[in-house]
Structures are given as structure tokens and as C-alpha cells.
Structure 1
Amino acid sequence: MQEHSIVKGADFQNLLGLGFSEIEAAQLVYMKEHVTEQVEYREIMQESRRLDFIRWLIEHDRIKK
């Protein structure tokens, strides 16, 4: 992975506080910001939201199992 410009933000500062180096923290922030660009990730998140909604419907007796 190539080096990314150092990001100054809450996530970056939190990662530094957890002991990550500046480069590691910048890479993790970059990955977090760009992971949603991946089609597979979006599809997994959509399916997860659908399942959460169905689970809520069942738990609140809106539909039967």
C-alpha cells in the first residue's frame, strides 16, 4: 500500500492514541474512508440492513416467523 498524506482528524488522533504510527494511522483512516467504494461491501451492508429490519419486524410482532 502506498503512503497517503497524513490526515488530521478525530479518527487519526484516536489511532495515534492507541499506539499506531502516523503512517499506520493514515493508512487505516484512508481505508475506512474508501472501503464503502467497494461494491461487495455495499452489497453486504444492504443485506445486513434488510436482515436487521426483518428481525425488528419479527421482534415487534409485525410479521410472523
Structure 2
Amino acid sequence: MPDYSYTTESPDFQRLLSMGFSETEAAQLVHMKDHVTEQTEYRELLQESRRLDFMRWLIEHDRISR
């Protein structure tokens, strides 16, 4: 399991502990919160890349004009 020691000082981590989450659960939730934006941006880039590939295919196969 990854080390989440950097999260123990965050207010989110402390709030999760006060809500009854274990240290491991709180650390994982804070880690996920910190990295969800990166995953969203990656998915958006991947979708855009697929759209462009499809447009390229349409043009190459004379299904659409430039």
C-alpha cells in the first residue's frame, strides 16, 4: 500500500478522523481527493484524442470533407 504520511497534517484528514474513519481510510480518501482532478483531466484528454482520431478517419476515408 502507498505511503500517505503527507496527508496526516491536512484539515480534511483530521476531519475524517473525527468522523470515525480509521487513519488508513482517511489517508486513502484524502489521497483520492487530491488526485481525482488528474484522472478527470486524463480522461478528457483521452476522449479528445479519440474524437480527433475519428475525425481523421472520416477525412481519410472521404466520409467528410475538410
| TM norm structure 2 | 0.52
Q: Counterpart in 1 of 2:63?
A: none
Q: Counterpart in 2 of 1:15?
A: 16
Residue correspondence of structure 1 range 1-65 to structure 2 within 5 A: 2-5=2-5, 7=7, 8-38=9-39, 39-40=42-43, 43=44
CA apart distance, 1:9: 1.2
Answer 1 or 2: which has greater helix percent.
2
Residue deviations 1:8-46 (CA, integer Å, cap 9, x gap)? 111001100110001110110000000100123xx4xxx
What letter is aligned with 1:21?
S
For the pair shown, the structure with the greater C-alpha radius of gyration is: 2
How large is the RMSD of aligned CA atoms in angstroms? Answer: 1.6
Matched positions, count: 41
Q: Deviating runs (4+, > 3 A) in structure 1? A: none
Identity of aligned residues (%): 61
C-alpha distance in 1, partners of 2:6/2:27? 5
Gaps of 5+ in 2: 45-66
